[in-house]
Amino acid sequence: MKATVKGRYEVDKSSVFATVAVNAGDLKLKASMADATFVHGPSLNGLGLSVEKPGSFIIDYNVPKKDVRFQFMNSVRVFDKTVNLTYTHARADNRVGIDGSVAFDPANKVSVSYALGSGNCKVKYVYTHGVLRRTVLEPCYDVSKNSWDFAVTRKFEGGDSLRATYQMSSKNLGLEWNRESKINGSFKISTSFNLAEQKKVPKIIAESTWNYEM
CATH code where residue 44 lies: 2.20.130
pLDDT attached to residue 28: 94
pLDDT attached to residue 41: 66
Task: Note whether residue 81 is domain-resident.
Answer: no
Domain count within the chain: 1
Task: Note whether residue 14 is domain-resident.
Answer: yes
Task: Note whether residue 5 is domain-resident.
Answer: yes
Task: Note whether residue 17 is domain-resident.
Answer: yes
Helix (H, G, I), strand (E, B) or coil at 35: helix
Spatial contact of 79 and 68, defined as CB atoms under 8 Å apart: no
pLDDT at 38 over 80: no
pLDDT band of 54, cuts 50, 70, 90:
very high
pLDDT band of 71, cuts 50, 70, 90:
very high
pLDDT at 140 over 90: yes
Task: Note whether residue 111 is domain-resident.
Answer: no
Task: Note whether residue 53 is domain-resident.
Answer: yes
- What pTM, to 2 d.p., does this model score? 0.84
Range of the structural domain that residue 25 is part of: 1-64
What b/e sequence results for 111-123 when a residue is b if at least 16 CB atoms lie within 10 Å of its CB, and e otherwise? Answer: bebbbeeeeeebe
pLDDT attached to residue 10: 86
Q: Which of 1-15, 135-149, 200-214 has the highest mean pLDDT?
A: 135-149
Nearest to 102 by CA among 85, 87, 121: 85
Who contacts 148 (Cβ-Cβ below 8 Å, separation ≥6)?
139, 140, 141, 142, 168
Distance CA 196, CA 198 (A): 7
Distance CA 148, CA 145 (A): 9
pLDDT at 44 over 80: no
pLDDT at 60 over 70: yes
- pLDDT cut 70: percent of the chain above it: 97
Who contacts 92 (Cβ-Cβ below 8 Å, separation ≥6)?
62, 65, 66, 67, 68
Nearest to 94 by CA among 66, 73, 69, 64: 69
Task: Note whether residue 138 is domain-resident.
Answer: no
Task: Note whether residue 26 is domain-resident.
Answer: yes
Number of residues assigned to the chain: 214
